[in-house]
Structure formats: C-alpha cells, structure tokens
Amino acid sequence: MRPKNSASMIFALSFAFLGLMIPNSVHNSGRKIVKQEEDLLKFMSLMKEPEDSTPGMSLDFKEIGRRKEENITAVSYDLIASGMPRNKVYQLWAMGLSNQVPTLGGDYVVETSGRLVSNETREPLGDVILRAFSRGEPYRMALIAADKTIAVFAKVIPFPIEAESSSGCRLIVELVGSDGQIFSVKGKGFVPGEEVSFESQSLEEELKLVRRASIKGTFDFIYAPAVIGYESGRCKVKATGERCQVVVEFDWGSAAIRPQ
C-alpha cells in the first residue's frame, strides 16, 4: 500500500508551507488561540465544494505541466483567484486524504492577475505540485478572509475517474477513503427530477438502486464496492436515465490507491 504521506503537496521554494497543523487536541498556547481555530474550522466545515464558495468568487487550479519522477507523476498547477476583493487578507488552507484536518499555509492577498502574494513578504505563491496521487484522489484548498466574510474553495483531481455519454450525462467517481474502500459517485446532465436507475457490479456481487436527480439534474451517493474476503477488485457502475445511459469502471481496495 502507498504510505500515507506520499500523497503530498509541495510548493515551490518561494512558499515554504511551514504553517500550523491544527490537531484535534487542545493547543498549549492558550484558550484564545484554540477558540479562534475552532471558530475557523467550524466556519469552513473542514472543506466544502467549489460551488459552496462565496457567490461571484472562485479559486481554481490551472494545470501547467506533468512530469515523471521515477515511478510517479508530478502535476504542477497555478492557483488563481477570481472576483475576490484585493483589500482583504486571506488565510490559505489545504487538505488531502492523507490528513483529514486542514493545514494552514499563511496569509495572502490577491493581485489583479488573480495570483496570491504573501501578506508579509510580498513574495508570490509558487506552483502547487501534487505527487503520487491515485486515480480519483482529490486535493482541496481554501481562501478564508481574516474577517471570515469570504470563503472560497477549490478542488482538483489530478487523475479523474469519469465517463460521459453521447447525450452529455456524466458519472464522476471520487476517492473518499484513503484505504480505497469508499467512493463518492456523482452524476451530472440528467433530466431534472427524474429517477435514475443504477446497477453496480463488484467482482461477482451486484447491487441495484434508484436515485432522484435534483432540479439541476445532478445526484450523488456514497459507494463501498469492497467484497468480503478480497483485498481489491474491479467494479462497474451504470446509470440509466430517461435520455441517457453512462457506465464507469474503476478499481477498489489496494489497487485503487496505487500512485500514478
């Protein structure tokens, strides 16, 4: 299995990412600091989806390159903010599957270009480099205004698991558990309010269920394809709506957490 710390995020030398790692235990530095951190984590609800960002604002990963480093792939991104006021200071947070508590990366301001600059040193944020990620594994970042009036969330999946039908229906699978046992299955492009039928097969086990699409034609559910007695396997999920059918296949278990 992949070591937990191998799915790491490394910034360029201009950004050391030496900030505070917030533990579940109480800090020794005083109740005031603890209370501030508790309030911030509650405000963030750990990490939300990009669509939960403050309206009219966004934070996006813009891929700028990929390269092989021995047997793993390193993917580089620019982090670009849009629509955010330039007269505010923001805290930058990050979180991956290997650490389910957000990591604080410092205070930043937003330039006209949308790039982030350190509020203390005025140095720009370097490239975000993600290494040894598995298929479907997400990485999340957030910019939270110091006065907590603005929260903008970003998510990137370097190696997505998804499929799209000819009529535009999509299935997107996201790794939820770091052990490769639990996934989120999301659908987009279905008829608003329709009942969508699902058939899944993992090894020899089959499951059928029905989900109703939202008014936006979307749905999501948690899927645990593991089969008792097996360390890993291959599964297939098929969604059938009124005007489309789409199928996605992926590995679970130890095979799902192999670094790409």
Name all domains of the chain by residue range, CATH numbers in brackets.
4-156 (no CATH), 161-257 (2.60.40.2240)
Is the C-alpha dihedral spanning 50, 54, 56, 58 positive or negative?
negative
**Distance separating alpha carbons of residues 25 and 1, to the nearest angstrom:** 28
- What strands lie across the sheet with 245-253, from one edge to the other? 205-212, 195-202, 232-240, 245-253
Which of the four pLDDT bands, split at 50, 70 and 90, describes residue 97?
confident
Q: What is the mean pLDDT of residues 169-192?
A: 94
Q: Which residue has the tokens 């600091």?
A: 33
**Distance separating alpha carbons of residues 235 and 199, to the nearest angstrom:** 11
> If residue 232 lies in a helix (H) or strand (E), which one and from where to where?
strand 232-240
Rounded to two decimals, the pTM is: 0.80
List C-alpha distances in Å: 252 to 139, 174, 223, 231, 233: 19, 11, 11, 9, 6
Q: Is the pLDDT of residue 191 over 90?
A: yes
**Which runs of E-coded beta strand occur in 132-212?**
139-145, 151-156, 161-164, 170-175, 183-188, 195-202, 205-212
The identity of residue 97, as a single letter, is: L
List C-alpha distances in Å: 254 to 66, 69, 125, 251, 259: 24, 22, 35, 8, 11
The pLDDT score that the predictor gives to residue 39 is 53
Q: Is the pLDDT of residue 32 over 70?
A: no
Least confident of 14-23, 117-126, 161-170, 245-254: 14-23
**Distance separating alpha carbons of residues 165 and 32, to the nearest angstrom:** 53
